Amino acid sequence: MAQQPSEIKAHIKAEGDSLRENLEEIQSRVKTALDWKVWYRNNTAVAIGGVVAGGLLLSLLIPKGKSDDYDFIDMDEEVDHGAEPSGYAAVRPPSRAKAELHHVLDNTLSAIVGVANDTFQEFMSKALPGFREHYSQAQSKRFD
């Protein structure tokens, strides 16, 4: 049984409206997924943890001022330049406790970044179906 042209037009219009609604829904999900305020509201603990980890990393990267922990050679005194061919003053190496603290902080920061990465991937996967598969493909291409 053949359809009438008016039925075909109505069907095409209904399909077009359905596609428009689906596109608007996808656009809304992407906009919500990329809105940092919404993400912060839903993931406050992760955001604060990231800020703390970033501050900790930044504090480790910024050079420290003169400290009592280091023995600097007074450059006004006579220095045996034969011991240091570069002419730089010798500095006492960090203590074992400081080295262990740096390892603990490094491991903690790595764990925080890993948790943030997993949380981000999970969040994006919920907001954008298929995100995890595309992310995995991109990651495998990068390391090939």
Residue with tokens 């595309």: 134
Q: How confident is the model at residue 91 (pLDDT cuts 50, 70, 90)?
A: low
The pLDDT of 65-84, averaged and rounded, is 52
- The reported pLDDT for the residue numbered 26 is 92
Do residues 142 and 48 make contact, with C-beta atoms less than 8 angstroms apart? no
Please measure the distance between the N-terminal and C-terminal CA atoms of the chain and give it in whole angstroms.
57
- The reported pLDDT for the residue numbered 13 is 92
Q: Is the pLDDT of residue 115 over 60?
A: yes
Dist. CA 31–CA 87, nearest whole Å:
58
Q: How confident is the model at residue 106 (pLDDT cuts 50, 70, 90)?
A: confident
Name the maximum alpha-carbon separation found in the chain.
108
Do residues 92 and 70 make contact, with C-beta atoms less than 8 angstroms apart? yes
User: Which residues have a Cβ under 8 Å from the Cβ of 69 and sit 6 or more positions away?
Assistant: 92
The pLDDT of 3-26, averaged and rounded, is 90
User: Which residues have a Cβ under 8 Å from the Cβ of 75 and sit 6 or more positions away?
Assistant: 89
- Return the axis-axis angle of helices 44-61 and 96-127, rounded to nearest 10°: 140
User: Which residues have a Cβ under 8 Å from the Cβ of 125 and sit 6 or more positions away?
Assistant: 131, 132
Q: Three-class SS of residue 89? A: coil
Q: Is the pLDDT of residue 16 over 60?
A: yes
The proportion of the chain whose per-residue pLDDT surpasses 90, expressed as a percent, equals 12
Q: How confident is the model at residue 87 (pLDDT cuts 50, 70, 90)?
A: low
